[in-house]
Amino acid sequence: MSTPTRTQSTEQRPPALNVEAIRADFPILQRRVHGLPLVYLDNAATSQKPRSVLDALTRYYEQTNANVHRGVHTLSEEATAQYEAARAKVASFIGSCCPKEIIWTRNASEAMNLLAQSWGRANLRRGDRVLLTEMEHHSNIVPWQILSAELGFEIAYLRVADDGTLILDDLPRLLDGRTKLFSFTYMSNVLGTINPVVELTRAAHRAGALVHLDACQAVPHMPVNVTELDIDFMSFSGHKMLGPTGIGALWGRRELLNVMPPWMGGGDMIREVHLSGFKPSELPWKFEAGTPAIAQAIGLGAAVDYLERTGMAAIHQAERELIAYAMERLATVEGLRILGPAADQRGGLVSFVLGDIHPHDIAAVLDNLGIAIRAGHHCAQPLHERYRIPASARASFYLYNTREEVDLLVKALHKVVEIFNF
């Protein structure tokens, strides 16, 4: 594992990343695509995995593999200890008071479905309102729409201004006593906008609403501390933060989780079962039915170790610098329009449209040059409708991306313009 090189050391400025050493930790970055070195710019969809995470997975399967919380044999005890240790690492990584506040899920989408089906079903009635924003991922819209169709509560959306920031003037009207939950994204996966979480949370709490943060695009990229943010629930996915697929988490304040009913039944989530009924287990297991994603949780623990060793403040700073550079360079491409705010208000991703060239055509040309970007509506169709575009292209960065890769992206986009000749 690489250690960041300290090129500058002031109180405010985190150490610069040693990107070359970091890249050496990611085997896939040695790959060639269509004969050219891979330039991986689809990190908002999923990140690549360092050797230490891959090794943790292999080690688990080679040395430990057993079911958790069940056997009294050595392997099962070791598997349980490693699985629960990963939970403790993740809890500490996000500033939670205790591991039992981390509920493992398959991904962030499942975390939000858990929140809707458990907290939502128990607390929302006709006449209530759930407040979302126009920039949400489908995972923070559809679970509420499914539940609202059944329970009859209202869903309202805080609007997005042309510049990609939230229109805060509407908040007082939308946060009246009827709003029971304000659920919003920390960072938009399309616009890159970093929302003012503390300000939004204070406003929601003043109006008596709880706050759920979709932190899928934040937890991997910047320091996130749930206690300092003073939020109530948070969802995130392991695969976007160097961990394996198949593992994510819902974090919630203990006192809220404690009184929420289980949402899936099965083994592991019960204290006792009789033909006449059951008593649920305690936190966090009452929400985790069946054999969990053991190796994946352990792999996520290794990912958290890697991120902590590298430094979240350093990662965030490096991405801020890279996105500022990328936006400056992208502005040289004729006909390219960037969605979202200025670089200083966003994280490390940029979505754009290029004349009337379809984003899928852009992505296909780039793929031929070894460059992986995302094209489509990025699971945020309402946001694209708000901008009256069917789709966009998105380049999203992470700790291993370089300025040279930005240059390759920009050069390739000039070529796209040439090919489509507009």
Ligand X SMILES: Cc1ncc(COP(=O)(O)O)c(C=O)c1O
Q: Name the catalytic one among 97, 98, 216, 379.
A: 379
Determine if the peptide bond prior to 284 is cis (ω within 30°): yes
Q: How far is the CB of 350 from ligand X (least distance, A)?
A: 14
The answer to whether 264 touches 121, Cβ cutoff 8 Å, is: no
195 is a contact residue toward ligand X (CB under 6 A): no
- Show the CA angle centred on residue 362, arms to residues 359 and 368, nearest 5°: 140
> What's the min distance (Å) between Cβ of 379 and ligand X?
6
- Evaluate whether 375 touches 360 at the Cβ level (below 8 Å): yes
Complex with ligand X: residue 80 or 109, whichever CB lies closer: 109
Question: Considering the rule CB under 6 A, would residue 217 count as an interface residue with ligand X?
Answer: yes
Amino acid making up residue 235:
S
- Could you tell me which of 171, 236, 182 has the C-alpha nearest to residue 211? 182
Closest CA to 330 of 274, 255, 405, 381: 405
Shortest spacing between CB 334 and ligand X, in angstroms? 29
250 binds ligand X (CB under 6 A): no
The dihedral built from the CA positions of residue 70, 75, 81 and 82, taken in this order, carries a sign that is negative
- Please identify, among the stretches 101-109, 205-213, 295-303, 304-312, the one whose residues bind ligand X according to the rule CB under 6 A: 101-109
| Long-range Cβ contact pairs of 416-420 (< 8 A, separation 24 or more) | 416/354, 416/357, 416/361, 416/362, 416/365, 416/366, 417/333, 417/334, 417/335, 417/354, 417/355, 419/365, 420/355, 420/357, 420/361
* Residue number with CB closer to ligand X (68 or 250): 250
Among 64, 133, 139, 396, binds ligand X (CB under 6 A): 139
In the complex with ligand X, which residue's Cβ is closer, 60 or 186? Answer: 186
We find the least distance from the C-beta atom of residue 352 to ligand X, in angstroms, to be: 17
Nearer to ligand X, 64 or 183 (CB): 183
- Select the residue interacting with ligand X from 53, 90, 124, 216 (CB under 6 A): 216
- State which of residues 53, 108, 194, 229 lies at the interface with ligand X (CB under 6 A): 108
Q: Does 377 bind ligand X (CB under 6 A)?
A: no
> What does the per-residue mask of binding to ligand X show for 167-186, with x meaning CB under 6 A?
------------------x-
Binder of ligand X out of 49, 87, 129, 137 (CB under 6 A): 137
189 touching ligand X, by CB under 6 A: yes
- DSSP conformation letters of 333-352: STTEEEESS-GGGB-SEEEE
CB of 106 to ligand X, least distance (A): 8
Among the candidate windows 167-175, 209-217, 305-313, 368-376, which touches ligand X by CB under 6 A?
A: 209-217
- Residue 144 vs 412, nearer CB to ligand X: 144
**Nearest-CA neighbor of 342 among 215, 216, 190, 165?**
165
Q: What does the angle CA 54 – CA 303 – CA 116 come to, to the nearest 5 degrees?
A: 115
Three-state secondary-structure class, residue 250:
strand
| Distance in Å, CB of 364 to ligand X, minimum | 21
- Contact string (CB under 6 A) for ligand X, positions 379-418, x = contact: x---------------------------------------
Of the residues 109, 117, 133, 310, which one makes contact with ligand X according to CB under 6 A:
109
Q: Which is nearer to ligand X, 264 or 417 (CB)?
A: 264
Q: Between 80 and 237, whose beta carbon lies closer to ligand X?
A: 237
Nearest-approach distance from CB 127 to ligand X, in angstroms: 28
Q: Is 379 a catalytic residue?
A: yes
Nearer to ligand X, 219 or 312 (CB): 219
CA-nearest of 325, 336, 320 to 393 is 336
Helix, strand, coil share of the chain (percent; to 5): 45, 20, 40
CA distances to 41, 357, 375, 386 from 390, in Å: 21, 12, 11, 10
- What residue has token string 């924003």? 133
Residues 6 or more apart from 56 whose CB is under 8 A from it?
298, 299, 301, 302
Closest among 350, 356, 422 to 393, alpha carbons compared: 350
Q: Which residues bind ligand X (CB under 6 A)?
A: 44, 107-109, 137, 139, 185, 189, 214, 216-217, 237, 248, 379
User: Which residues are part of the catalytic machinery?
Assistant: 379
